[in-house]
Amino acid sequence: MRAVAGSVRTVRIGVLASGTGTILEALLDADLPIVVVVVDRRCRAEKVAERSGVPAVVLERRDFGESFDRDAFTSQVVAALAASGADVVAMAGFGTVLGAALHEAFPSRVLNTHPALLPAFKGWHAVEAALAAGVKVTGCTVHLATLEVDDGPILAQEAVPVLEGDDAHSLHERIKQVERRLYPATVRSFVDGLREPSAQPDATVVGAPDMRTGGLRATHPPTGSLETRNGEQQ
């Protein structure tokens, strides 16, 4: 099992993936504290996880039609994430839109990377749509995921030029090269932001005299921590 990097107060990440898993590989290479990978189909991402010693949970989705029970499937995903102890979720090319239970279980802690400059070109065919629209610049967006697909507060974006002769494959590959750098870096800052407050003691005695009292002063950790930022108790 890979070591949890810098686990002062452990933040654990669960990754959701469905495809080739190259974004997952980049997250793993960045030594992020990934404790589980959940896939919704047999795919390379499953093997990538296993090779890194991270447990892969396969929740094979068989129904892609109207009768698909999205809430039941979401509950299975949430249960797998919860069983691993994950407290942050990073989507890395996950092919199933999940229901409200995911966001209730991980409020403001589900991240996503999207291969376009949101709010432009939402949806699964973002690269094709950008090409069809004839844009000269597209890119990628890392954002907090909400129930609305490809929506939510933007954490990072980077532009990628569309080159003469690009097809969906070549353009997507160039975008993914950026995602493989931007997503791990953004996930790391997000996780570090969660970890900071609890990495500090409740009250730190600082060895500088307080000119008002003539003694040592006690400072408290900054507010705006996990609880207040996400509007929930930790």
Active site residue ranges: 114
Please count the residues of the chain: 234
User: What tokens were used for 112?
Assistant: 């996503």
Nearer to ligand GRF, 22 or 195 (CB): 22
Q: Is 114 in the site for ligand GRF (CB under 6 A)?
A: yes
Given 4, 6, 19, 178, the residue binding ligand GRF (CB under 6 A): 19
Q: How far is the CB of 115 from ligand GRF (least distance, A)?
A: 4
Nearer to ligand GRF, 48 or 191 (CB): 48
Q: Which distant-in-sequence residues (6+ apart) come within 8 Å of 155 by Cβ?
A: 111, 142, 143, 144, 186, 189, 190
Q: How far is the CB of 96 from ligand GRF (least distance, A)?
A: 12
Stretch that binds ligand GRF, among 6-14, 107-115, 163-171, 222-230 (CB under 6 A): 107-115
C-alpha span between 88 and 81 (Å, rounded) = 9
Q: Residues 230, 109: contact at Cβ < 8 Å?
A: yes
Rg (CA), the chain: 20
Q: Cβ atoms within 10 A of the Cβ of 17, count?
A: 29
Q: How far is CA 229 from CA 72, 113, 139, in A?
A: 29, 21, 28
Nearer to ligand GRF, 23 or 117 (CB): 23
Nearer to ligand GRF, 158 or 196 (CB): 158
Q: Is 33 in the site for ligand GRF (CB under 6 A)?
A: no
Q: Is 93 in the site for ligand GRF (CB under 6 A)?
A: yes
Question: Tokens 């994430």 sit at which residue?
Answer: 81
Given 14, 99, 115, 197, the residue binding ligand GRF (CB under 6 A): 115
Report the site for ligand GRF in 46-65 (rule: CB under 6 A).
none
Residue 216 has what DSSP assignment? E
Q: Is 139 in the site for ligand GRF (CB under 6 A)?
A: no
Dihedral in degrees, nearest 10, Cα atoms 53, 55, 60, 66: -120
Nearer to ligand GRF, 174 or 195 (CB): 174
What is the CB-side half-sphere exposure of residue 19 using CA atoms within 13 A? Answer: 12
Contact pattern from residue 168 through residue 187 relative to ligand GRF, giving x for each residue in contact according to CB under 6 A and a dash for the rest: --------x--x--------
C-alpha span between 234 and 11 (Å, rounded) = 12
- For ligand GRF, the binding residues (CB under 6 A) are 19-24, 92-93, 113-115, 176, 179
